[in-house]
Amino acid sequence: MKLILSLLSLFLFFLLLPVYASAQADTVVIKSDTTIIIPDTVPVSEVHVGKLHRRSLLIGDTIPAETPDSIREKEHSPTKATLMSTFLPGLGQFYNKKYWKIPIIYAGFGVLGYFVFSYANEYTTYKNAYLESINGVTDGKYSSYVKQYSADQLLASRDFYRRNLEINCIFSVLWYAINILDAAVDAHLYTFNITDRLSMKVEPEPLQFTGFSCRPSSGLKLSLHF
């Protein structure tokens, strides 16, 4: 009788095992702050997850679920920021939300533009005055310069303003390149996470040596916490 009951129990166990496994497969658990049970007959795309502050959801520990559009972060493109600052200085900084840099960029261009314009005018003036001086023109447009300065002085002044004009043109190109580089670097660091737990600690540390030397030594210990 006991043997029959044992065989019957074993038979019922193997009979109900597939049913239990099927019931386990019919439920999917989404790992989040709240456990949600979803039948396998409902498509994942039709499940309303709600306000979940997670980048992604894992279904059944193996199947990744698509994050809803409402909580998906908009991708920040370094290429877009670089191109924007290339076509219009300061536009990439606006895209990176670094608004305080825009006045600095245009102030730099304003100062450099002023010097370029001034040196260009002075260079043109002394160049033409030098040409009138070496050609013997005393009643031309630049006669006041011809009468006031010698040809050598006009030539030296022309070279001085030309050199400064070229230097300021180079600085203007560098400032333009810095504007582009700044936008690209800020865009790459836009999503860089800096938490309050990031810290650095420097403290003295005794050095221990093994071997024949017994002299005490000291050093510095650098600790980074993040």
Radius of gyration of the chain (CA): 38
SS3 call for 33: coil
Instruction: Specify the pTM.
Output: 0.55
- Phi/psi for 100 (5° steps) reads -70, -15
**CB contact at 8 A, 145 and 126:** yes
- CA distances (Å), 93 to each of 3, 82, 111, 148, in order? 83, 9, 20, 50
d(CA 180, CA 175): 9
pLDDT tens track, the chain, 226 positions: 444 445 445 544 544 444 344 444 444 444 444 444 445 544 444 444 444 444 444 444 444 445 444 444 468 899 999 999 999 999 999 999 999 999 999 999 999 999 999 999 999 999 999 999 999 888 889 989 999 999 999 999 999 999 999 999 999 999 999 999 999 999 998 877 666 666 666 677 666 655 555 566 666 676 666 5
User: Residue 37 is inside which H or E element, if any?
Assistant: strand 36-39
Q: Residue ranges of the alpha helices (H) in 26-100? A: 78-87, 91-95
Question: In angstroms, rounded to a whole number, what is the distance separating the alpha carbons of residues 41 and 155?
Answer: 91
Measured between alpha carbons, how far is 154 from 131 in angstroms, rounded to an integer? 9
CB 193 within 8 A of CB 180: no
